Structures are given as structure tokens and as C-alpha cells.
Homo-oligomer: A and B are copies of this chain.
Amino acid sequence: MTPACVLCQGDGGRLVWRNDRCRVILADEPDYPGFVRVIWQAHMAEFSDLTAQDRQDLMALVNRVEQVVRAVMQPTKINLAALGNMVPHLHWHVIPRYADDAHFPGAIWAAPQRAVAADALAHRQALASVLPLALQQALSAELH
């Protein structure tokens, strides 16, 4: 635990699933319902700081999360990223993207290109409400 690190001090979002090495949370990003983060529990900065087995297990979890997000959120594209410039505690962003979202086809960190239509956002919020249960069922069935 690193006292100054927000991902050591709190879950970093709505906790959906965890084991001793990883946790899965729903990000609080109003324009992006269904945005999930997979967070390594220990304070490690870089993917290549992990052991080979831990990297495999982490990416198997990221992949399973991606599959569930695709199935539930029906996005145009998935974006995966591990940046950590502001919070150097290893975490993966799993982001469902849509052709009419605020930044598409830019990255979500770029300047917004449009406001998201209210009906599109409401539709995605409805889908995202199913995500916690879908993730918990998928992850508990396949991972340990």
C-alpha cells in the first residue's frame, strides 16, 4: 500500500469483482457508461514489472472483461489502455466506444468532438446497468 496513491487508498470506482491480485470496477465517467477498469491490487507501475504468470492472468481477465463489455454494451470498438501517467498504479481501461460518442474516432483523452445525444446515452446507461451482474457471473465462473 502506497499512502499517496488513490488506487491503494480506495477501490477507484464501483467494485464489481475482486480476487487477491486484481479487481474490476465500473469507472465514473458520465459520457461513457460501461467503461470498466481492471486494477492490479499491488502498487506496481508497469505491466513489465509483473511476473510472466501474473501478466498472463491479468490479460486473461482483461480479455474476459472485454468479451462481457462487447456482449452487453454492443460497442463499435473496444479501446484498451494502460497509461498511469497520473496514477502510476497498474490499471487497464476497457472502454466501449461508439461512432457517435463524445470523442470518436479520437481517443477519449482528446478534445471532445460532439455532445452525446441524450437518447443514445440513455440507451447505453440501460445496457450498463446489466454489466455488474454479467461481469460477476462471467468472472466467477471462469477465474479464481
State how many angstroms separate the Cβ of A97 from the closest Cβ of chain B.
6
Q: Does A117 contact B (CB under 8 A)?
A: no
Residues on the B chain within 8 Å of A86, using CB: 105
How often does this chain occur in the complex, in copies? 2
Instruction: Report the minimum CB–CB distance from A49 to chain B (whole Å).
Output: 10
Q: A86: nearest residue on chain B (CB-CB)?
A: B105
Contacts of A79 in B (CB 8 A): 81-85
Residues of A within 8 A of B (CB-CB), count: 34
Cα of A59 to Cα of B62 in the assembled complex, Å = 12
Residues 74 to 93 of chain A near chain B (Cβ within 8 Å): 76-86, 88
Query: Is residue A70 within 8 Å, beta carbon to beta carbon, of the partner chain?
Result: yes
Residues of chain B within 8 A of A88, CB atoms compared: 77
A19 on the B face (CB < 8 A): no
Specify which chain B residues have a CB less than 8 angstroms from the CB of A110 in the assembled complex. Answer: 107, 109-111
Residue of chain B at shortest CB distance from A76: B85
Beta-carbon nearest neighbor of A50 in chain B: B63
Please judge, given known A-B contacts A46-B70, A56-B56, whether A97 and B85 are in contact too, CB under 8 Å.
yes
Instruction: Report Cα–Cα, A83/B67, bound state, in Å.
Output: 15
Q: Given A47-B63, A59-B55, A63-B55, do A104 and B78 touch, yes or no (CB 8 Å)?
A: no
